[in-house]
Amino acid sequence: MTVRSAPAADVPTPEQVRAELAAWVRECWDPDRPLRDWRELLLGAGWAVPSWPRRWYGRDLPGWADELVATELIRLGAVGIPVGSGSWLAAPTILAHGPDELRERLLRPILTGAQTWCQLFSEPGAGSDLAGLSTTAVLDGESWVVSGQKVWNTSAHHADMAMLLARTDSSVPKHQGITYFALPMNQPGVEVRPLRQMNFHASFNEVFLTEARVPRENVVGAVGLGWAAALTTLSYERRFAALQRPGYSLTPGRALAEARAEADRHFATYSWYPQRAGRPDLVVEHARAAGVSTDPVIRQAIARLVTLHRVSQWTADRARLARAMGARPGAEGSIGKLAASNVARESARVHAMIAGAAGLLTGPDSALGGVIAEVLMSVPGQSIAGGTDEIQKNILAERVLGLPGEIRVDRDVPFSQLTGRG
Ligand SMILES: Cc1cc2nc3c(=O)[nH]c(=O)nc-3n(C[C@H](O)[C@H](O)[C@H](O)COP(=O)(O)OP(=O)(O)OC[C@H]3O[C@@H](n4cnc5c(N)ncnc54)[C@H](O)[C@@H]3O)c2cc1C
């Protein structure tokens, strides 16, 4: 399943990687080069994703090299691969599951930013129970014909491609009949309808698929083995629960201007995500502004929150270090995601204590210019996106603590018998 090769015995140190990268950037970086041309150079030199194999735009370096190189490129005033679910979710899944023809065709446009991606997994009847999905794909000559409905699909309104899960065989148990496709979004059979959220944003969508076409060869992994590829995507999703905007330098130049515009486009969808995380960074400022920073009950609540936040950051640091040492994404993703939910909820509670009823007001005159109202309305999303808190607890209970599994009566029954559909 994996195409990662073992790092060479003579693995360079982080200092050596830094020095080699800096020399290469000095030689090759031209701020007036078009962004895509610069990224082609990154791919060619193996600096795009340095932990990947040389054949696929990497350098066979250990896992720590990806974060180090991404950070160093920005520090040197240059640009790395694009942000977004293409490079964070689709690319590692395609790399891990192949086949080579798809790696050849799809990885390059993801890593240069020529194509953006979204994730078409959830359905109205299949969220936590994702394997219960009922969108179907039927082979018709040289293409698969896909019909069904997806929902909560972030950024589907401006994606070129989608990671799509669809059922290709109903005669086998539900996890076995699923295939993972790379679906072209811009076609008549794909209708994207934005959903308006209670925090006034519209970052996700309903997607209606009516005989949408997927080229026959756009199967990630193999027909009927989509569940394994889906688990790879989900493990990366938990790992990247917190999205960070790259801090590109303000130096003029075409490549940087294009990278900033690309990040602006991408993060417009996610502008409420910091509020979704609860904004624990704002509690002290909020308490002072509201004149309650000497209230002993509020002070105690703030101290508790700051402690929780600090401990969760240490947990995240430990997970980052484990990845840097070459560990594949694992249980620490679920622990980190659960910790982030706890921090967000506690932070919203403390902000609500500070603001009182005024926290319900929105607009520029309300608490911290409306940020607090947005926090209170956005925090519930933290416990749902990328797998709910309860699902993370199930994963930890079963895979880490070794507790008895949930009773799953539908695991071995053909999907068609569960649904009465053929
Ligand atoms: C901000 C955001 C962005 C999202 N982006 C995307 C996206 O880009 N693409 C995509 O495909 N989806 C996306 N989703 C959807 C997300 O993956 C689902 O909402 C999530 O998996 C939960 O599914 P559900 O909403 O159907 O809830 P349900 O699965 O119906 O769950 C309802 C409740 O039941 C609980 N529950 C369910 N099963 C169990 C169980 N076995 N044990 C204990 N409790 C259980 C849940 O924890 C929850 O509290 C996004 C969601 C959010 C909030």
* 80 and 249 Cβ atoms separated by less than 8 Å: no
Is the minimum distance from the CB of 199 to ligand 1 under 6 angstroms?
Answer: no
Q: Distance from the CA of 124 to the center of ligand 1, in angstroms?
A: 10
Q: Which atom of ligand 1 lies at the shortest distance from residue 380's CA? A: 53
Is the minimum distance from the CB of 98 to ligand 1 under 6 angstroms?
Answer: no
CB neighbours (10 Å) of residue 89? Answer: 23
Per-residue confidence in pLDDT tens, the chain, 422 aa = 445 555 555 889 999 999 999 999 999 999 899 999 999 999 999 999 999 999 999 999 998 899 899 999 999 999 999 989 999 999 999 999 999 999 999 999 999 999 999 999 999 999 999 999 999 999 999 999 999 999 999 999 999 999 999 999 999 999 999 999 999 999 999 999 999 999 999 999 999 999 999 999 999 999 999 999 999 999 888 766 556 778 888 788 999 999 999 999 888 888 899 999 999 999 999 999 999 999 999 999 999 999 999 999 988 888 777 777 766 666 777 888 899 999 999 999 999 999 998 888 888 888 888 999 999 999 999 999 988 999 999 989 998 899 998 888 888 899 998 876 55
Could you give the C-alpha distances from 9 to 12, 269, 326, in angstroms and in order?
9, 43, 14
**Candidate from 121, 180, 384 with most ligand 1 atoms within 8 A of CB, to mutate:** 384
Q: Distance from the CA of 129 to the center of ligand 1, in angstroms?
A: 8
DSSP 52: S
Q: Distance from the CA of 181 to the center of ligand 1, in angstroms?
A: 21
Q: Six-digit token pair at 101?
A: 């023809």
**Candidate from 122, 150, 338 with most ligand 1 atoms within 8 A of CB, to mutate:** 122
DSSP 83: P
Amino acid at 172: V
Q: Which of 131-135's residues contact partners 24+ apart within 8 Å by CB, and which partners? A: 131/174, 131/175, 131/178, 131/227, 132/174, 132/410, 132/418, 133/165, 133/166, 133/167, 133/178, 134/167, 134/419, 134/421, 135/164, 135/165, 135/166, 135/167, 135/209
Whole-angstrom distance between the N-terminal and C-terminal Cα of the chain?
30
Could you give the C-alpha distances from 77 to 22, 72, 247, 267, in angstroms and in order?
11, 9, 10, 20
Q: Distance from the CA of 385 to the center of ligand 1, in angstroms?
A: 6
Q: Which atom of ligand 1 lies at the shortest distance from residue 406's CA? A: 41
* 388 and 340 Cβ atoms separated by less than 8 Å: no
Q: Six-digit token pair at 151?
A: 């929902």
Q: Which atom of ligand 1 lies at the shortest distance from residue 120's CA? A: 11
Q: Which atom of ligand 1 lies at the shortest distance from residue 118's CA? A: 8
Is the minimum distance from the CB of 117 to ligand 1 under 6 angstroms?
Answer: no
Protein residue whose Cα sits closest to atom 25 of ligand 1 = 127
In three-state form (DSSP H/G/I as H, E/B as E, the rest C), the secondary structure along 268-295 is: HCCCCHHHHCCCHHHHHHHHHHCCCCCC
Question: Mind listing the domains of the chain with CATH numbers?
Answer: 14-112 (1.10.540.10), 117-239 (2.40.110.10), 272-387 (1.20.140)
Is the minimum distance from the CB of 64 to ligand 1 under 6 angstroms?
Answer: no
In whole angstroms, give the CA distance from residue 19 to residue 137: 49
